[in-house]
Structure 1
Amino acid sequence: MSTLILSIEGTLLLLTIVCFGLGRKYHFLKQVLIIIYIITMMIYLGWRIGWTIPTNSIFSIILGVILILAEIGGFCLSLVFYRIFYKKFHRPIQKLDVYKDGHYPSVDVLIATYNEEVTILKRSIVAALSMKYPSQELVNIYVCDDGSRGEVNQLCQELGVHHVVRATHEHAKAGNLNHALTVSQGELVVTMDADMVPRTDFLEMTIGYFHNPKMGFIQTPQTFFNDDPYQFNLFATNTIGNDQDFFMRGIEQQKDAFNATMYVGSNAIFRRVALDSIGGFATGVITEDMATGMLLQAKKWETGFVNENLASGLAPETFGDLIKQRDRWARGNR
């Protein structure tokens, strides 16, 4: 009996190693790995429940049950995660040629800024001005300056874009964007952070999806043209990806299959009437971006993800900045 068990274990181990090694090339092997994981975890949990609960005292029984419940909870969470990745998903490309009548929606580009360097902001504005669109008069750029800076106003005048300020500054970035909605009127609204530099084909690659009247927003990944702290300190620019890539390029793409794309604060396009249906960008939360996306999905708007590197910005350059960013995300999403 022990020889048979060892033989089964050896076979499973070998199969796991083979599937792991070739999984990147052959997706079905990833599916095999997931199935192996589920089977082995169910066997393990069955063993834990049936043979490992301590019985020497009430206190030990309670602690043993709590530990098993925690393991079962972790297993249930992993089932959700692996369900997302079980089948590959990639949204079909839909370009501007879907507007066969030549009637293209008007677009407002909102660039949110507070205290970023003017040189960084200028780069983003110039890139936004360079975006291609069949009817350029339908594109308006609004620099939403919550710092109310004179040098930013001067820059906007030089570049011929709208400079938007407000008398009060409640609700931080969400309030800034909501104020910009009151002074603009485009059918679609693009949100960009001050450091994000869109590609010239950003609009050409995203606006076509709004031919579907139920589409609420389209998210594109945030990518970065500088090294994050891990890449920089490990001298690994060309050997490891940015630490956000797994979420921005992997998880977001797979969540798209379930209409669960997350709005990540920049590089996204919204239908204005969809935003109006939820009262604008969500306020009263730390992570207004995720809340806004969830509110739209709760209102039955469709959402999508275009897995193309259409805009790049600056990643946190120090571990201090990185920790501050992730702390905000963690507290806002708890």
Structure 2
Amino acid sequence: MSNKRRFLYFLAIALSIIYLLWRIFFTIPWQANIFTLIFALLLVISEILSNLTGFILIFFRMLSTKKKWNLVIPDYSTSQPLPDVDLIIVTHNEDVDLLRKTINAATYIDYPDKSKVHIVVADDGNRPEVMALAKHYHVSYSGMENNQQAKSGNINHTLAKLHAPLFAIFDTDMIPFSGFLRNTVPLFTENFQQLTDDPDHTDPLGFVQTPQSFYNADIFQFNLFSEKIIPNEQDFFSRDVNILNGGNQRALFTGSNAVFLRQAVDEVGGFPTDTITEDFELGTMLNMAGYISLATKIPQSSGITPIDMKGVIKQRTRWARGVIQSCRNLHIFTNRHLSFINRIILLNTYFYWWAFFRRMIYMIAPILYALFKIQVVNANFWILMVIWAPGYFLLHYVMGDTSGMGDTAKIRNERWGEVQETFFAPYLFIPVILESLGIKAKKFKVTAKNVTYSLKDKLYILPYLTLWTITLVAIVKFNYGKYGSEILVGSVITFWLLMHFVNLSMCLFISMGRPVYRKNERFIRQVTGSVQSSDGQWHPILTEDVSEGGVAFQTTDGPVKDIAEGDTIKLTVKHQDFDVQLSGKVARISHRDDTTIYSVQVTVAPDKNRDHYLQLIYDGANKTLPSVQDTWVTPFDELYMNLVVRARTYERKLSRRFNRF
């Protein structure tokens, strides 16, 4: 990092601290009524915590060196024996077809000696159909009944039967890529050699976390028609924040797609059972026991993320409550066994879940003044401009500048972060408060990944609609009848009202949902094969994309006249040395430049055909979705685009209705 940039970062932090000191000592309305005073104090505390989390992120980015950021995966050590690895696929009550894809993918994982890879399905439902599936794929099955300790109990029960020095954990919906072990195990063999060569200056490696990656668009990408514009919302943590944590050898475990040193997990007593976020707690327990943890940057597996309001809110509520539980169990504020870096990471994680409470405070504060003249900040406009504006805008510039340091391009900017915080805020701030007070939820369930749109689901829009309406009224009422200097003096209030209004408008669009027409996700896969035309001739093809229900391809010897829309055809696609047999109906023939593209709805024969075809589809990231943000498109552009798209949708619906008459 250049000295100029470093100076800019320190200046942003210094100006922000000056502003916070001014806020604490000169702007709190101590003589106001109790409600105003409490809200004023909550606003100040929220600002302090927001700035603190920003400072921590900047601090970690300044500590990050190119070497730390770019974790190099070594080759397998020639001086260390190749370790056995247990691959544990954890399932509760998920759909068997979803589980099939993960088990199938596990059987294709590359390893120099496949006899050293032991695949186990850990099923706490003891389901006969899961046992049959494990038998079909010739993998081990670990069933149990009356599990009272959730996912941790299931894993601990299975680990008691296993003995490999390394083990990996996969959730049912997290499909591993064939290179998963190649991009994780060598870090352990390298560490084993370093411990042999220099045990006094080498810390043992406890686990390696690969990114949480998803092959379907999340609720923000899908409902905002942004599948080509913004990455998955969880990418910011997995491929940015946790990489920084791993650069400090304190990566967080995120529940799946990780490889562990068995000895380390045994040493801390196995997976903790006193929390619903056993992943977060276990990772910290290993760090406290003296083990380091690393995070890789390139996804090595891919899963499915919920896109319905109910599923997403339930999932995040579980995570929020679980992290609060684990932070309480770990005593993160007072625990003497936590290193400085470890404590900072945990505090940052803890305060993240309070961001939604802070977001509610930020939305309500300007509304109180605009509608009811309740002043929670005693400040002269010009003094506010001098003290607040420079630090605020410089800090936001720095936060954007630090995003994507190293070789990583920008994943998310501050504005998108505010939209996502606003979306979760109405539903998370109460659970966070309750859990912090020790009031636990009665029961938690695994998040369903299927999309539901009942009347009850549509009611999730109400908090956003209420806040949006109040904010709009506040903007109009506050600015109505003002001229000249009055508008200027009130511009700070108007600025915040407008920012929140835009965020809430985006939330309205997200909560409105969007029809789901596609049954299966498409993956860009270019593989060779052949197609049989109606005259019986076979023609060579190259696929464009594939899905479980369809294939798009071009014939490499030119357009085929004997293939027309509606035709039933046979085709093969190559996977490894196997020709996958497919049959289907030509749904569409389109043209791109001088190329003819045939889109076919397909069915695949069972057993080996199906297994190879599933592996062809799911072995690798879904390149149809972006991994970085399109920086030319802002939330304001997105807002306009959604207005236009949805207006045209309603226009078409009205047109069809009136045309009936």
TM-score range, shorter chain: 0.7 to 0.9
Q: Is the 8 A contact 1:91 1:305 kept in 2?
A: no
1:85-106 deviation digits (Å, cap 9, x = unpaired): 2344424323343x21361111
User: Among residues 86, 93, 108, which one is paired with 2:72 in the alignment?
Assistant: 93
- Where does residue 210 of structure 1 map in the other structure? 188
Name the counterpart of 2:91. 113
* 1:62 Cα deviation after fit: 6.8
Structure 1 contact 178–280 (Cα < 8 Å) conserved: yes
Q: What is the aligned partner in structure 2 of residue 171 from structure 1?
A: 149
Question: Given the alignment, which residue of 48, 57, 60 partners 2:23?
Answer: 48
Q: CA deviation at 1:36?
A: 3.7
Checking the alignment, whether the CA contact within 8 Å between 1:95 and 1:204 is kept in structure 2 is: no
Deviation at 1:126, TM superposition (A): 1.1
Match of 2:162 among 180, 184, 206: 184
Residues 217 and 91 from structure 1, CA distance in 2 versus in 1: closer, same or farther, beyond 3 angstroms? Answer: farther
User: Measured at CA, do residues 309 and 73 of structure 1 come closer, stay the same or move farther in structure 2, by a change above 3 Å?
Assistant: closer
Q: Please say if residues 260 and 303 of structure 1, whose CA atoms lie closer than 8 Å, have aligned partners that are also in contact.
A: yes
CA-to-aligned-CA distance 1:217-276 (integer Å, 9 cap, x gap): 000001000111111111111111111010111100011122221101100000000000
Q: Quote the Cα distance in structure 1 between the aligned partners of 2:311 and 2:117.
A: 34
Native 8 Å contact 1:191 1:268 kept in 2: yes
Distance in 1, matches of 2:104 and 2:36, equals: 65
Choose the corresponding residue for 2:296, options 306, 319, 324. Answer: 306
Q: Give the drift of 1:180.
A: 0.7
1:277 lines up with 2:267 in the alignment: yes
Q: Could you tell me which residue of structure 2 aligns to residue 252 of structure 1?
A: 242
| Counterpart position of 1:231 | 221
263, 288, 292: which one aligns with 2:278:
288
Q: TM-score, normalised by structure 1?
A: 0.85
Q: Identity percentage over the alignment? A: 35
Cα distance change on mapping 1:228 and 1:68 into 2, 3 Å: closer
Partner of 1:127: 105
2:58 to 72, 82, 98: 82
Aligned residue in 2 for 1:316? 306
Counterpart of 2:61, as a letter, is F
* Unpaired stretches in structure 1, ≥5 consecutive residues: 1-25
Distance 1:236 1:32, change over 3 A: farther
Q: Classify 1:219/1:30 alpha carbon distance in 2 versus 1 (closer, same or farther; 3 Å).
A: farther
RMSD, aligned CA? 2.4
State the distance in 2 between where 1:168 and 1:182 align.
17
AA at the equivalent of 2:132: Q
8 Å CA contact retained: 1:132, 1:204: yes
In 1, Cα distance between equivalents of 2:117 and 2:128: 24
Please state if 1:35 is matched with 2:17: no
1:152 & 1:65 partners in 2: Cα distance? 54
1:6 aligns to what? none
Give the length in aligned residue pairs.
308
Please report how far the alpha carbon of residue 29 of structure 1 lies from its aligned counterpart in structure 2 after TM superposition: 7.9
**1:135-174 paired onto structure 2 within 5 Å:** 135-174=113-152
Q: Give distance in 2, aligned partners of 1:266 and 1:162.
A: 19
Aligned to 2:302, the other structure's residue is in SS state strand
Q: CA–CA distance in 2 between the matches of 1:125 and 1:244?
A: 24
What is the CA-CA distance between 1:56 and the residue it aligns to? 4.5
For residues 24 and 264 of structure 2, the distance between their equivalents in structure 1, rounded to whole angstroms, comes to 48
Contact 1:95 1:207 in 2 (8 A): no
Instruction: Give the counterpart letter for 2:71 in structure 1.
Output: P
Q: Greater CA radius of gyration, 1 or 2?
A: 2
In the TM superposition, residue 61 of structure 1 has moved relative to its aligned partner by: 11
**Greater CA drift, 29-38 or 72-81:** 29-38
* Structure 1 counterpart SS, 2:184: helix
Distance 2:50 2:164 in 1: 45
Whichever residue aligns with residue 302 of structure 1, its letter is I
Aligned equivalents of 2:259 and 2:292: distance in 1?
13
What are the Cα deviations for residues 280-314 of structure 1, in whole angstroms up to 9, with x where unaligned?
11111011110111111111111101111100010
